[in-house]
């Protein structure tokens, strides 16, 4: 594990407790994953693939059954390091209503730093900076329950940011949002990663969100089946399909057209790439 590694899973397995005498199958099976500082990583998988278990293990919410999880070299099973681990990796879950604890936006964002014993003056600065970073500063005096789903999720992200975590793990943060809310959260995440250098781990089942990441990890039945750039991963449709997933819409459409004789190039992922390739194709290669 080099100095640039933020999260490291080493031969990690995990099994949830069963309500019966019959043990549940392993949620994770001897997985090995390294996530570097500054990366934007998307983790894909169908329900039960193990992707949400990775989020909980990354923040010491649960401990591995076997193997090790290290956060900046800190072993998550060491209770003395729990504070430092949770200051390094923050987790945002699917339903923002479950994470909002105050009646005013800025008070909610201040909750985490207050629990860490941060000085009031520093909390004020952190809250303002975090709300500005996710585009919610103008809503600081609003009541959270009156916000849209996307706005609530951005407030939840700001709450983690105010704790000054180096990494934010988002466990299906857009699953309950409409397209506008999804776009709001994705824009905030990309900005935090590219402009502020925060490591982002996005757990999602939306292929079009994964396309925007630097790296995509595909989970299936508790195992890593693909790990690479979006273009590398989505160029293997058979493995994607076997994992119970689909290609991004633009890639899927391009594949269907190719099957019907339209000479489109391989590797199309985004609507923009599809439009350019299609225009070039129908113009007979004479598009300028």
pLDDT tens-digit readout, 15-42: 999 888 888 899 999 999 999 999 999 9
Q: Looking at residue 19, what is its pLDDT?
A: 87
Rounded Cα gap, residues 260 and 284, in angstroms: 17
- pLDDT, residue 283, reads 78
Sequence-distant (6+) residues with CB within 8 A of 142 are 104, 105
Q: How confident is the model at residue 105 (pLDDT cuts 50, 70, 90)?
A: very high
Which band of pLDDT confidence, cut at 50, 70 and 90, is reported for residue 288?
very low
Of 215, 227, 221, residue with least CA distance to 32: 227
Please, are residues 169 and 90 in contact by the beta-carbon 8 Å criterion?
A: yes
Fold category of 5-229 in CATH: Rossmann fold (3.40.50)
Q: For the chain, give every domain's residue range.
A: 5-229
Structure tokens at 57: 């293990």
pLDDT value at position 47?
86
- Split at pLDDT 50, 70, 90, the class of 286 is low
Longest dimension (CA), the chain: 68
Q: Write the DSSP string, 110-141.
A: HHHHHHTT--HHHHHHHHHHHHHHTT-GGGTT
Q: Mean pLDDT over residues 264-268, rounded?
A: 83
- Any residues with CB less than 8 A from the CB of 7 and at least 6 apart, and which? 33, 34, 35, 58, 69, 70, 71, 89, 167, 199, 201
Instruction: For the beta carbon of residue 14, count every other beta carbon within 10 angstroms.
Output: 22
Whole-structure pTM value: 0.87
Whether 93 and 169 have beta carbons less than 8 Å apart is answered as no
According to DSSP, the β-strands at 66-71 and 74-75 are antiparallel
pLDDT at 284 over 80: no
Please name which of 190, 206, 180, 160 lies closest in space to residue 44, comparing C-alpha atoms: 206
Extended beta strands in the chain, E state: 5-14, 28-36, 40-44, 66-71, 74-75, 89-92, 167-171, 199-204, 215-220, 223-228
**Does pLDDT of 1 surpass 60?**
no
């Amino acid at each position: 594990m080099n100095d640039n590694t933020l999260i490291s899973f080493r031969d990690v397995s995990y099994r949830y407790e069963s309500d019966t005498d019959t043990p549940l199958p392993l949620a994770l099976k001897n997985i090995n994953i390294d996530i570097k500082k500054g990366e934007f990583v998307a983790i894909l998988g169908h329900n039960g693939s193990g992707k949400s278990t990775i989020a909980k293990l990354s923040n010491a919410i649960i401990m591995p059954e076997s193997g090790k999880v290290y956060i900046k070299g800190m072993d998550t099973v060491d209770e003395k390091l729990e504070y430092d681990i949770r200051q390094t990796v923050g987790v945002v879950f699917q339903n923002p209503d479950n994470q909002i604890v105050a009646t005013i936006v800025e008070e909610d964002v201040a909750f985490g730093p207050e629990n860490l014993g941060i000085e009031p003056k520093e909390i004020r600065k952190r809250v303002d900076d975090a709300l500005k970073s996710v585009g919610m500063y103008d809503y600081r005096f609003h009541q959270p329950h009156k916000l849209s789903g996307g706005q609530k999720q951005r407030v939840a992200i700001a709450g983690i940011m105010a704790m000054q975590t180096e990494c934010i793990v988002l466990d299906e943060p857009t699953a309950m949002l409409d397209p506008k809310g999804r776009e709001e959260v994705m824009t905030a995440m990309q900005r935090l990663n590219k402009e502020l250098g925060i490591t982002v781990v996005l757990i999602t089942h939306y292929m079009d969100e994964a396309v925007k990441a630097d790296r995509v990890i595909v989970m299936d039945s508790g195992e890593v089946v693909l790990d690479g750039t979006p273009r590398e991963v989505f160029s293997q449709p058979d493995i994607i399909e076997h994992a119970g997933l689909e290609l991004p819409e633009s890639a899927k459409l391009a594949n269907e057209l190719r099957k019907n004789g339209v000479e489109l190039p391989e590797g199309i992922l985004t609507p923009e790439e599809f439009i350019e390739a299609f225009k070039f194709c129908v113009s007979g290669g004479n598009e300028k």
